[in-house]
Structure 1
């Protein structure tokens, strides 16, 4: 079962979102890495769903995406495409995980995470 691991807020002006969410909700925003600033929405005692704020890519410049952990990005993308999804990005490799994006049949952006 795909488990929601986090969220990503995309904007052409991510610094505005960082200021807004850290001020309004008290979210802790970390340093930007790869154009992505990690966000912690809770504390150790009262955990929330964490995510990030990023400069949106050209094909998805603004909006909210959830990130779902899967066993295999490749097989999940194949299944998603069979049911009307469209690839947004190829599988990318990071230190501890792989990441890819697609849009569902209604155009909603979804991120896929495969842990190494």
Structure 2
């Protein structure tokens, strides 16, 4: 089962966005890594998810995307395409995980993440 494990806010001014969410909601914002600022939205003893603020690419300059964890990125992408999704960014490799961006059949942007074992 794919579980939502985070979110990403895309912005062309991520520093300004990070400052806003920190001041208004008290989010803890980490130092940037690859134009991405990880955020902690609250304590782990309450329901909620953490996420990040990133410099939006040209194909997704601003907006909000949930991150869904999958066991197999290749399998999830195949199933998504078979069910009408459009692949925006195919499987990308990072240090500890794989990431892909899709648009579902009704136009909602989502991220898929597979943790390396």
TM class by shorter chain equals: over 0.9
Question: How far is the alpha carbon of 1:43 from its aligned partner?
Answer: 2.1
Indicate the residue corresponding to 1:84 in structure 2. Answer: 84
Query: 1:65 aligned to 2:65?
Result: yes
Indicate the residue corresponding to 2:48 in structure 1. Answer: 48
1:84 and 1:46 mapped to 2: Cα distance? 35
Report the aligned-residue RMSD.
Answer: 1.2
| Equivalent runs, 1:1-116 vs 2, <5 Å | 1-46=1-46, 48-116=48-116
**SS where residue 95 of structure 1 aligns?**
coil
2:38 and 2:60 mapped to 1: Cα distance? 19
Aligned length: 116
TM-score (norm 2): 0.93
TM-score (norm 1): 0.94
Query: Could you list the runs of 5+ residues in structure 2 that have no partner in the other structure?
Result: none
Q: Deviations over 1:79-110 (max 9, x none)?
A: 11111111111211112111111111122111
